Chain A
C-alpha cells in the first residue's frame, strides 16, 4: 500500500510556494460531472454503482498521461485510511463516511484527485499552493477534457452539466480559496469582513468545510452560484474578492504589530513554547497554537521555523495522520501523547531535528 509513503510526504499544495503564501494556503477547484446513462448516485442501486465505478476506473486507467495515478476502492479500505485521505484534502468527509461501491483516483503529487460515486458520479478536484486559481482552472479544464473524451457526461443544452443537487447545475464548478486569517479573528473584524462578502455571492466556510472559527483560523471562500456564468467569470469573482480579504488581514496584522507588538510577541511565543514542550496535546489545541505560531513566523517574530514545516504540521498532527505515521492504531489519549512528541520532533531546535 502506497498510502504510508504519502503520509510522510507533503502535498504540493502545502508547500507554501504559490503567490501570497503567508495568508493563502491553497486554491482549489472542483467540477461535478455525471454519466448520462446512469441515475445519480443516491438513486443508483448497488449493481449500477459498481458499473459506474468500473467504467470510470477503466477510463481513468486508460489515460496514458495518468499512469502515476493511484486508484483506491474505498469500500475495501479501513477507516483510518479513509480518514487519512480526508485530512489530506484528497476527498470529502461525506465520501469517507458513506457506504457502497466508491473510489478515488489520486495524483501522487497531490495536485488533483477524482472522486467516483460521491454525490455525483465524478467529482474532479485540483489543488494549487497559494492564490493561483488560473493555474487551477487550466489544469482542471484539461483533466475534464481528457475524461469527457472518454465518457458520456449528462449535459443539457440550456442547463449545462446536470448534477444531483440543483445548487451545482450548470458549470458544476466550485472555486475555493483557503485563507489563514488569525489577525482578523484576534481583532474581531472577521465577522464584519464576511458579512460584507455575502452581498457579492461568495460563501465562507471554515477548514474542512465546517463553520468553526477555532479550527486554526482557516476560512474557505468560494462561489455560491454555478449557473448562468462562465467558468472564467466564477474564477474572476473569487479572484477579485480574495485580495480584499488579504488586505484586511494585512491591515489587522499591522495594527497588532503597531499597537501591541509585545503582547502579540508574548502570545505567539507562549504558543510556540507549549507546542515545543507539552507532553500531551489535543488536535484542536494544536490547531489553535499552530495558527499563532504560523502568524508569528509570517511576521518575523519567530525566525527559526520554515513556513512549509508549519503548514505540514497542521495536516500531519491530525488523528489519522499520526496513526499512519506511527504505523498503528492509537486511542485518543495515546494520540495526544504521540502528537506532542511529533510536534517536539519537528519544532524543537528550530524545526531541524528529526525532520524526514
Chain B
C-alpha cells in the first residue's frame, strides 16, 4: 500500500478513534506519519477546546457581541479574549476572574462542573490581589523600558521588590498560615477586583 501523501510505501496505519463519524484509517509513510502525529499531539487539545468554544459562542452571541468579547482584555497580563480563543491557553491566573462569565460555560462543557472538590493548599499562599498586582507591575515595567522611561521602570522595580518581599514565602514549612494582607497592594491594584471568597466552597 502506498502512502496517502506520496509515492513511498505506507508503513504507518493509523486509526483515528475520536472522529465523530466513527473510526477512520490513515495510511502513511514514516515521514508523513511523523508530521501527522506531531501535528495531532500538539494541536488536538487546543483544537477540541477551540471547537467547543466556537460552538458555544455561536449559540449564545451575535457577531457584534462576539467582536466586543474578543476585545476584552485582562488588566493583569494583557491577553485579549481573541488571543485566548486562538491559542487555547490563558495568560495568567487572573484571567479566570476577568473572563469568568465567558469561561464558566466552557468549564461546564469540558468538565461538567464548575467547582473544585479536590485537594487544597495546606497554607494560604497570600493575597491573590497582591500576586496579580506583581504580575501587572512587571508588565508595566517592561512597557516603561520599551518607552525608555527608565525613571518609571526603576520606581516600578523597587515597588515590585517591596511587594515580593512583603510576603513570607515558606521560611518555615511547618507554619500553618502566612500572614499577608497588604492593604497597600490592593489599593494600588487599579482594575483588579478582589476575588470572590467563600461562596460555594465544598470540602
Contacts and interface: CB of A to CB of B under 8 A. Distances in A.
B37 interface: yes
Contact of A38 (B40, B116, B135): B135
Contacts of B91: 39-40, 42-43
A166 B90 contact: yes
Interface in A148-165: 148-162, 164-165
Contact of B89 (A119, A155, A157, A159): A119
A213 interface: yes
A162 B96 contact: yes
A108 to B, nearest CB: 24
Interface in A23-59: 34, 36-40, 42-43, 45, 48
Interface stretch (A223-231, A273-281, A304-312): A223-231
B112 A228 contact: yes
B134 A37 contact: yes
Interface of B: 11-18, 23, 30, 33, 37-38, 40-42, 45-46, 48-49, 76-79, 87-93, 96-97, 103, 106-107, 110-123, 125-126, 128, 131, 134-135, 138-139, 142, 164, 167, 169-170, 173, 195-201
B103 A195 contact: no
A210 B201 contact: no
Nearest to A192: B23
Contacts of A150: 169-170, 173
A155 B118 CA distance: 12
Contacts of A156: 93, 96-97, 116, 128, 195
Contacts of B11: 214, 282, 284-285
A225 B118 contact: no
Contact of A149 (B40, B42, B122, B139): B122
Nearest to B131: A36
A66 interface: no
A37 B122 contact: no
B37 A158 contact: no
Contacts of B48: 167
A214 B37 CA distance: 12
A231 B116 CA distance: 10
A347 B117 CA distance: 50
